[in-house]
Amino acid sequence: MPELPEVRAHAERLRASHGGAVLSGFRALSFTALKTFSPSPDVAVDRPIVDVTTRGKMMLIRFEPVMFVVHLMQGGRLNIDTKLSAKPRGGLARWTFDDRPALLLTEAGSEHKAGLWVLEAGDTQGGPFDGLGPDADSLTAGQFDAVLDSAGKSRLHGVLRNQKRLAGLGRRLANEICWSARLSPFAPAGSLGSEERERLFVAMHDCIEASLADERSRNEMVKSALRLAAVHHRGGRPCGRCGDTIRQVEYRAYEVDYCPTCQTGGKVLADNTTSKFLK
């Protein structure tokens, strides 16, 4: 799933290409795409794009007095559409403009989780924002400490990607942050010491900034396998820092990747959801 850096860089690209573009029409191409019925998308017609920003993993396309909130989920993409096909493959919604190319929201696969909301501009409390935590890169060290304290014995990897605690981080960044901070992904978040917390806070910001710089060097959003990674999806390969073999704990829908030497004192984590360290 695209995370904060990918979504933010893409929002910047759309702001550059479509900032000020006047909307001539909007059409939902799938009945699952539009998650709201009021305000109507037609309110934005004949109005220019004021800004394209982000919140967590979502893009906010502001027209005033409304905005479209777009969540790409796992397989969604929002790209320029020059073909204007009546039934584009995976098509969810299309925006057309007076003097710019159309934008097309698509979703690969059959899960149909990507979608959009139309909200009053500036409404960041309801709908997809309900219960959403602060953007991960907006926290001070003290605020980050409070997040860790509230997590108690919850595993660090899960805390980092819990959108109600920290918005914008996903599986890749959680893996990368834990590796960068030299911390076990299974460490109890609330039990981390002050020095460990400082390393984690710095690692979180560094990983976000490095990923954002990498994404800004691209012309489009790419697949997860092509994104910046030291351990994510690199199981079986040597760690670039110590040379040990990168390991993974596999779950049904994702995996946790880590380096035993760098992160767990040489111990290999059990490959299931309940057991503790394996010797």
pLDDT digits (tens, 9 = 90+) for 198-222: 999 999 999 999 999 999 999 998 8
- Where b means 16+ CB within 10 Å and e means fewer, 268-279 reads ebeeeeeeeeee
Give me the CATH code for the 136-278 domain, please. Answer: 1.10.8.50
- Where b means 16+ CB within 10 Å and e means fewer, 121-150 reads beeeeeebbeebbbbbbebeeeebbebbee
Q: Which residue has the tokens 């978040």?
A: 189
- Would the CATH topology of 4-129 be identical to that of 136-278? no
In the chain, where the domains are located:
4-129, 136-278
Q: Which residue has the tokens 């994702």?
A: 254
Note the pTM of the prediction, 2 decimals: 0.93
ω before 39 within 30° of 0 (cis)? yes
Q: Which residue has the tokens 């850096």?
A: 5
Q: Which residues contact 146 (CB under 8 A, 6 or more apart)?
A: none
- Low pLDDT (below 70) residues in the chain: 272-279
CA 17/CA 279 separation, integer angstroms = 54
Q: Which residues contact 169 (CB under 8 A, 6 or more apart)?
A: 3, 4, 136, 160, 161, 177, 204
248 touches 263 (CB < 8 A): no
Domain 4-129 CATH class label = alpha beta
